Amino acid sequence: MFRLYDKINNNEVYVIAEMSANHGGSLDNALEIVRQAQKAGADCLKIQTYTADSMTINCDNEFFQIHGGLWDGYNLYNLYEYAGTPYEWQAKIKEECDKIGIDFLSTPFDKAAVDFLKNLGVEAYKVASYELVDIPLIEYIASQGKPMIISVGMGSLEEIQDAVDACYRMDNDQIVLLKCCSEYPAPWNDMKLGNIPDMIERYQVPIGLSDHSAGSIGAVIGVSLGACVIEKHVKLDGVESADSGFSMTMDDFAQMVQDVHNAKMIVKGPDYTLTKGEEASTIFRRSIFTIKDIKAGEAFSEDNIRVIRPGYGMKPKYYKETIGKTAICDIQRGMPLKEEYIQ
């Protein structure tokens, strides 16, 4: 049972651990990532379903060369050959997810990959930021009738709306949009997480964050601004891959999971009811007390009553109107002043 909407509807954060290329070419590593992600508290393990040929063509001209960044010097075809997750592993990865009770999710990059995942029995699909503009692909994915988690990195308002409308044309309204900065790693100044509340209002669908920044702070801030899904790349210690340079170790990921759940608790509200702890603390508030012995018929004055702690007496807002009134009984020093003591 895919738990995405269970979490969202219960006002909880759904956490996706993105494996991507961090298996480092080893199925054993891939299965270990599944196990460690589940142990760290992830709700879902995500992979990517593509071949180099489904992503691009094998061409060495200038259009296909990468200059700068983590993948400097690669051409696109060679990068995808190096980074891909072999199709023959993917059923085994899903089986491991099913076995240990973690959701399985993948990003397809062409129709054949959509069909392949359908045959695996996937319960949702992810759309990558770079495919946000591939409306024919989004329509085909949406036509499967499964939840759509769509990253919107690099997306203009028009492009995001185009993708949402593509899902609606296919009668699929199970849409979750992920705010994303498509830089690897993403610097703080480029994150623009203030878009999250605007996206919630603008698109009227659940909004999450695909976070490529360092550490937990982006995810924590995202949740505090309303993100209900957090996606983060994870890696094993000592395994180098095309994505390891901007991915999070499992220990740090476990801390991030704890941090985002705590952030979700912290931002609850509006709710002005007192907690049990606050109720217990009210006795230490200020209230009106007698500071001298007072005889029946004696007037209350600034000399015999004061606003002090603790909080067993009348509220301080009644202090001024009490001054000048008289006591109907003897009152000892150090007693909380009650309404029934006043003439």
Beta-strand (E) ranges in 14-130?
Answer: 14-18, 44-49, 103-108, 125-127
Q: Give the C-alpha separation, 17 to 106, whole Å.
A: 11
Q: Give the C-alpha separation, 103 to 250, whole Å.
A: 18
How does DSSP assign 104-163, residue by residue? Answer: EEEEE-SHHHHHHHHHHT-S-EEE-GGGTT-HHHHHHHHTT-S-EEEE-TT--HHHHHHH
Domain edges within the chain: 4-266, 276-341
Give the model's pLDDT for residue 65: 94
Give the model's pLDDT for residue 71: 78
Question: Which CATH architecture is the domain 4-266 placed in?
Answer: Alpha-Beta Barrel (3.20)
First-last CA distance in the chain? 68
Domain 4-266 and domain 276-341 have a common topology: no
Cβ–Cβ < 8 Å for 164, 176: no
Cβ–Cβ < 8 Å for 288, 314: yes
10-residue averages of pLDDT along the chain (343 residues): 94 97 96 98 98 95 89 88 94 98 98 98 98 98 98 98 98 98 94 98 98 96 98 95 91 98 95 96 97 98 98 98 98 98 95
Q: Give the C-alpha separation, 36 to 305, whole Å.
A: 64
User: What are the residues facing 294 on neighbouring strands?
Assistant: 331
Give the model's pLDDT for residue 74: 85
Cβ–Cβ < 8 Å for 333, 290: yes
Q: Give the C-alpha separation, 107 to 50, whole Å.
A: 8
Tell me the whole-structure pTM to 2 decimals.
Answer: 0.91
Q: State whether residue 126 is helix, strand or coil.
A: strand
Instruction: Specify whether domain 276-341 bears CATH 3.40.50.700.
Output: no
Q: Dihedral angle at the C-alpha atoms of 270, 276, 281, 282, nearest 10 degrees? A: 70
